[in-house]
Amino acid sequence: MEEIKVYNTLTKEKEVFKPITPGEVKIYVCGVTPYNHPHIGNARPAVTWDIIRRYLEYIGYKVKFVQNFTDVDDKIINKANAEGTDWKTISDRYIDAYFKVMDALHVRRADVYPRVSDHMDDIIHMVEELIKNGHAYVLGGDVYYDISTFKDYGKLSGRKVEDMLAGVRIEVNDEKRNPGDFALWKAAKPGEPFWESPW
């Protein structure tokens, strides 16, 4: 197999690519939140990852490609409420639209497309573990990740927490421990879809 080098965001250097399992590459790509028609910003990463995947296969790797859909989100719920329908109708509509556009661009389909809504039990379990280990806390039915508990927070991007907070999406909640803490789980508002959780 041909040796290739990739840029390691953590070390900030080009390094010889060595997959965990020789001859196999596993790629997980964060997919779209399907609340509207796909646009050029959705196409760019899809085309980029398709090229990377095809090249890795071309040089002899077996590739497992996974791309998720965040099919439960405030934007989806808001769109559903505005149209007088439900979140699943909205997400299914725009997932179908996404596939039509990607097929027209000849982007190969992923091997697996997990949906957030199909993995709520896994998400609840993971959030429970983060709370148990002191990395998350409950606040009025919501659960927040406490960035102060992760000493290397920001290391991958090479940014300091103080610098990140200058432009962070900070929701109005004076009770959070840190302004940069972010929601892992949100309590359902009246009329919103919900899943039973300990919070």
Q: What residue spans define the domains of the chain?
A: 5-114, 120-185
Close Cβ partners of 162 (under 8 Å, ≥ 6 residues apart) = none
Candidates 5, 25, 27; CA nearest to 16 is 5
From the CA atom positions of the chain, what is the Rg in Å?
A: 20
Q: Are 25 and 63 in contact (CB under 8 A)?
A: yes
Q: Going by CATH, does the domain composed of 5-114 fall within 3.30.70.3400?
A: no
Does the predicted TM-score (pTM) go above 0.75? Answer: yes
Neighbours of 102 (CB within 10 A): 21
pLDDT tens for 134-174 read 999 999 999 999 999 999 998 888 888 777 765 555 555 67
